[in-house]
Structure 1
Amino acid sequence: MSITSRQAKIIAPLEAKALWNELGEDFLAGPAQTANWFSFWQSCVNADCLVAALFEAERPIFLLPLEVVKRGPVRIAAFPGGPHANCNFPALAADAQITAADLTTLFKALHKTRPDIDLVSLVRQLGELDGKANPLMELQSRENANISLGIMLDRDFETVVGRHNAKRKKKKHRQNTRRFEEAGGYRIVTATTPVETNAMLNNYFECKAARLAKAGIKNTYEPAGTMQFFQQLFAHEVQSATPRFQLKALEAGGHYRAVLGKSYARQQTFIDFIGITEDELVSASPGEFLFFEDIQDSCKTDLAVYSFGIGDEPYKRSWSDLEMPSYDTDVSLTAKGRMFAGYLGARGKLVRRIKKNETVWAAVKKARSRLFGKR
C-alpha cells in the first residue's frame, strides 16, 4: 500500500461506527477495539469518546478508539473500557503499513482538535496480533507488569493436554465429572439468546463481587454503567452470525457453577473473565472443569491460539506454553502530560519489579487481603 496522501482525522462517536466496516473484511483489531465495544462503552459508561483515524484516499486504514478521563488535574485519552480493555490492538486494515511519522501526524491532529487532552496512555497492548505487528510499537513503549499466557492449540486436544500433567488433569476431570453428575447432572452451556447472556452475567457479577471483596480488591464492575455495558454488548453479539464476544457456563444441578467470558480475533480466542460460584460444589473446581471443556472444544476449531488474557495465575500456568508480553505507550500532548507520563513510567517500573519477585508479590496480595478484605 502506498503511504502518500494520508490524512489524520478525529471522528465523533456518531460518525465512528461505520468506519470499521470501511476497513475491509480482513481488518485486525483487539476485541476491545471493535465497533460494538466502542459504541456500547460510549453510550453506557463514558460519553466523551472519539476515534483518531488515519485515511488514505478517503479510506480508513487505522482506527484508534479513545475515551477521555480525568486523573486529578490531568486529562487522559485511553482505550475505552478502562481495566476491562485487555490484549489491546488498534483497528487496522490488513494491508496497511503505518509508520511513526503517520502516528505523529495523528497525535498532532488529536491535540489540535482536543487541546484539553494532556496525555494519550495506551496500556496492556499486544505486540502483534494474528502475525501483524502493532504499529504503536513504532513509538517509545515499555513492557507492562503483566504478561499474557496462552496455548498453541494444534487442532489436537491430546497434544495440548499432554504438555502439562495430562494424567493428573484427566483424573481430576473424571473425578469432578462424577461430582457434578451426583449433584443432579451437568452441561456446558453457550449463551445463544439475550436472556441467557443476562442470566450468566448476573451470576458472574455476583460471584466476582464476593470474590474481590474477600481479596480486598476494588470491584471494577461497580462504576456507573459498567454492568449495563457488558449486558448490552453480549446481548447484541449473541445475535450475530460471527460473534466477537461469547459467554459459556458450567451448569450443574440446575445452577450455574462457573461462567466464562470470551472474545475472538481471527486466529485466537481470549479469556476475558471467569466467575466461580462458591457453594457446596466449589471443591469440585468448576472453573478448572469449564476450562478443560472449553480448551477441548477450541481444539476442534481452526483457532491457532487460546489466550488466557492479561495476568499470571497458577491455573493459567498449568496449561500454557506461550508467554506474550504486553506493552504500554504514552504520548504526551502537553507539559502536564509529560510530567504525568514520567510518573506512570516510574510506577510501572516499580510494579514490574514487585510482580517479578514471587515472594514480594505474594506478601503484597496477602497484606491487601488482610487490610481490605471482607471476612
Structure 2
Amino acid sequence: MTMAAVMESRPGKQAWSETGRIARVDIIDDLRKAEPVWRQLEQSGEFCTPYQRFDLMAAWQRHVGECEGMTPFIVIARDRDGAPLLLLPLGVTRASGVRVASFPGGKHATFNMALWDREFAARATGADLETLITAIRANAQADVLALTRQPQRWLGLQNPFALLPHQASANDCPLLIMTPGAPPQSRVSNSFRRRLKGKERKLQTLPGYRSHLAAEDGDITRLLDWFFTVKPQRMAAQQLPNVFADPGVEDFVRDACMSKLAGGGRAIDIHALECDDEVIAIFAGVADGHRFSMMFNTYTLSGNAKYSPGLILMRDIIDHYAARGFTSLDLGIGSDDYKRLFCKDDEPIFDSFVPLTLRGRAAAAGLSALTRAKRLVKHTPALMQMAQRLRGALPR
C-alpha cells in the first residue's frame, strides 16, 4: 500500500492513503490533543480494554511515563469523512540507542490494545494494517513497535492486530468465564465454598467485619495507605522486586484510584475485606461491564492471614460481578497457585515486534528472541526453579 502524501500539520504529522478504509493517519505527541477522539472511542463502548481508558493512561503518563522519559506517540486512523477508525496509544522511549514505541502502563496494564471503531475492527484486513504501519513508518519517530500483551480476542471479536506477525507472550493470564444466570457453583465449586465458609467463620467474629467495594475518597485513601505499607513487606518476604517502589508508581495508583469515570465508578476499583481493627485484604482492578481484571492485591500481616482472607475476598468479588452480568474475570499475568483455584482457563495473549527502520529490524529480532526465551523458562519447571534460585541469591 503506497501513501499518496506525507505532510506536516498540527497537532501531528498526517499521512493520506489512496485506497482502503484508512484514509488518513495522524500522529500526536500530546495526550490532551488526542483526548477528544480518545474519549469518543472509549465512551461509545466500541472495542477496547479498560486498561486503555484515557484517565488511567493519562495518570500513568503524568506520574510514570514522564519519569521514564516516555514521549506520547498517539496514532489515530480516520476514514475519508474524518471519522476515527482506531486510536493506538503508544509512547516512545530509548533503549540502547533504539527508539521503542510501546503501550503505556508497563507491567501495571495486564492487557494492551488499540481503541477501535467496532464495525471497522470486525472487517479490518491485512491491507488496512499495512496502511497503518506504512504511515507510522513514514513518521520516523520510532525504530520498532513493541506491541506486547495483546489479547487475541476481546468482547467477542478478534483483535485486528492478530493479523500482524506475532508470538505468544512470555506469561499466561488465568481466566474465569462466567455465564450470566448460571448457579454460583459454576464459578466457585460447592466444596471450595464450604472450605472458605469454614475459614470465614473465624473472621466473622471480628467487630465490624465486612466485604465491600470502596466508594468514598476517604476509604480509598485509607486502603491505599495500608496497601503501600504492607505490600513492600510482603514482596520482600517473597524475595520479589517491589514494582510499586518505582518512581511515580504510587502517585499513579493513587491518582487512578481517585479518578471518577463519566459513567460512574473509578478508573481503578478497590475491593476490601476488613473489620473495625484492621484491613484484612484488598484486591484492586479495572472493570468495564463485561470483565473485571485484577491489577494488585495484598493481605494482612496479622494472625488473621491464616484464615485465607484473600481467597474469601476473591470469592466475594466473583459473586459481585456475576450478579452484575459480567461474563469474565481475570487475576492478571502469571500462574500463581491461588489464581488457578478460581481460573481454569487462560486468556490467549500475544506480542508483536514490528520494525520501522533498519536499526529496528535488529531490535525487533532481539526483543522477539528474548520473549521466546522468557516463555521457555516460565513454561519449563526445571528452568523456572533455577531462575528462582538465582533471583533469591542475588543481593538486594
Q: TM-score, normalised by structure 1?
A: 0.91
Of residues 134, 137, 154, the one that matches 1:108 is 134
Q: Quickly say closer, same or farther: Cα 1:338–1:303, change in 2 above 3 A.
A: same
Do 1:88 and 1:124's aligned partners in 2 also have CA atoms closer than 8 Å?
yes
CA distance in 2, matches of 1:312, 1:180: 28
CA distance in 2, matches of 1:150, 1:110: 33
For residues 34-53 of structure 1, give each alpha carbon's deviation from its aligned partner in whole angstroms, at most 9, with x where no partner exists: 21122222222224213111
Q: CA deviation at 1:5?
A: 5.5
For the pair 1:151 / 2:170, whether they are aligned, the reply is no
Aligned to 2:38: 20
Matches within 5 A, 1:44-55: 44-47=63-66, 48-55=71-78
Aligned to 2:310: 287
Runs of 5+ consecutive residues of structure 1 not aligned to the other structure: none
Do 2:257 and 2:267's aligned partners in 1 also have CA atoms closer than 8 Å?
no
Do 1:153 and 1:303's aligned partners in 2 also have CA atoms closer than 8 Å?
yes
Of residues 324, 327, 331, the one that matches 2:354 is 331
Q: CA deviation at 1:192?
A: 0.8
Of residues 52, 63, 68, the one that matches 2:92 is 68
SS in 1 for 2:65: coil
The worse-fitting range, judged by mean Cα deviation, of 94-103 and 286-295 is 94-103
Of residues 30, 35, 38, the one that matches 2:57 is 38
Q: CA deviation at 1:7?
A: 1.1
CA distance in 1, matches of 2:261, 2:276: 25
Letter in 1 for 2:324: T
CA distance in 1, matches of 2:372, 2:293: 26
CA distance in 2, matches of 1:265, 1:132: 16
CA RMSD of aligned residues (A): 2.2
For the pair 1:135 / 2:160, whether they are aligned, the reply is yes
Letter in 2 for 1:119: V
CA distance in 2, matches of 1:52, 1:5: 12
Q: CA deviation at 1:251?
A: 0.6
Aligned to 2:6: none
Q: CA deviation at 1:157?
A: 1.3
Aligned to 1:187: 210
CA distance in 1, matches of 2:253, 2:133: 30
For the pair 1:85 / 2:99, whether they are aligned, the reply is no
Aligned to 1:171: 194
Aligned to 1:8: 25
Do 2:100 and 2:146's aligned partners in 1 also have CA atoms closer than 8 Å?
yes
The worse-fitting range, judged by mean Cα deviation, of 179-188 and 145-154 is 179-188
For residues 219-263 of structure 1, give each alpha carbon's deviation from its aligned partner in whole angstroms, at most 9, with x where no partner exists: 222222221111111101378525453111111343112111121
Do 1:153 and 1:298's aligned partners in 2 also have CA atoms closer than 8 Å?
no
| Identity of matched residues, % | 24
SS in 2 for 1:145: coil
The worse-fitting range, judged by mean Cα deviation, of 152-161 and 293-302 is 152-161
Q: Looking at both structures, which has the greater relative contact order when contacts are Cα pairs under 8 Å and sequence separation is at least 6? A: 1
Aligned to 1:277: 300
Do 1:150 and 1:321's aligned partners in 2 also have CA atoms closer than 8 Å?
yes
Q: CA deviation at 1:309?
A: 2.4
SS in 1 for 2:331: strand
CA distance in 1, matches of 2:99, 2:72: 13
CA distance in 2, matches of 1:244, 1:88: 16
CA distance in 1, matches of 2:22, 2:51: 29
Aligned to 2:187: 160
Count of paired positions? 367
Do 2:286 and 2:295's aligned partners in 1 also have CA atoms closer than 8 Å?
yes
Q: Quickly say closer, same or farther: Cα 1:207–1:101, change in 2 above 3 A.
A: farther
CA distance in 2, matches of 1:26, 1:137: 21
For the pair 1:58 / 2:77, whether they are aligned, the reply is no
Q: CA deviation at 1:266?
A: 4.2
Q: TM-score, normalised by structure 2?
A: 0.86
CA distance in 1, matches of 2:26, 2:220: 36
Matches within 5 A, 1:303-342: 303-342=326-365
SS in 1 for 2:324: coil
For residues 59-116 of structure 1, give each alpha carbon's deviation from its aligned partner in whole angstroms, at most 9, with x where no partner exists: 1111110122222222211111111121222211121133333333333333433x24
Q: CA deviation at 1:318?
A: 1.3
